[in-house]
Amino acid sequence: MWLKFLLAVLIVAFCTFLGYFAAGKYRARKSFYEQFSAFNDAYLAELKFERRPLGVFLRSAVYKGDFGKTISDLAEKRAITVGYRYLTPSERTDAETYLAMLGRGDSRSQSGYFSSCSPTLSDKKAKADKEAKERGTLYLKLGLLAGLAFVILIV
């Protein structure tokens, strides 16, 4: 009796974990766009006020996750790597174009370009947040229900 109960709990927990794991790409996408939008705002403020060299600016802020890896690669190796699977190919090229424009031209033209990118990044951030909330709970519930269905079929 206890063995069946323990097995049922483990199956439900495992399937729920699989649902949580499957929703990870949506959480990563949300985190990427939150940090990307914050980076854009910080860079616009940098262009308007301090105007430190690009390398100093890139090393000054701390970003985490995939966006942090991208910024640290850009700061140290001057290499732009945005090959994350949760981004569409057009989003990858947009991010690469954005990062390639850092430090190009005078502050006025950069300010204009990055200001025009701000609404797009805010929109992508909002969409990624909404999708992470919807899909995250959906996958979690599907994992739980799949685990319960599996337990019912086996036991």
Residue by residue, pLDDT tens for the chain (155 residues) are 888 899 999 999 999 999 999 999 999 999 999 999 999 998 888 888 877 777 788 888 788 888 888 888 888 888 788 888 888 899 899 998 888 888 787 778 888 888 898 999 999 999 999 999 999 999 999 999 999 999 999 87
The pair of three-digit structure tokens given for residue 125, joined into one six-digit string: 């951030």
Distance CA 144, CA 4 (A): 18
Distance CA 110, CA 108 (A): 5
> 1, 75, 89, 70: which is closest to 31 by C-alpha?
70
Surface-to-core class of residue 80, CB atoms within 10 Å of its CB (0-12 exposed, 13-18 middle, 19+ buried)? middle
Distance CA 54, CA 75 (A): 8
Helix (H, G, I), strand (E, B) or coil at 21: helix
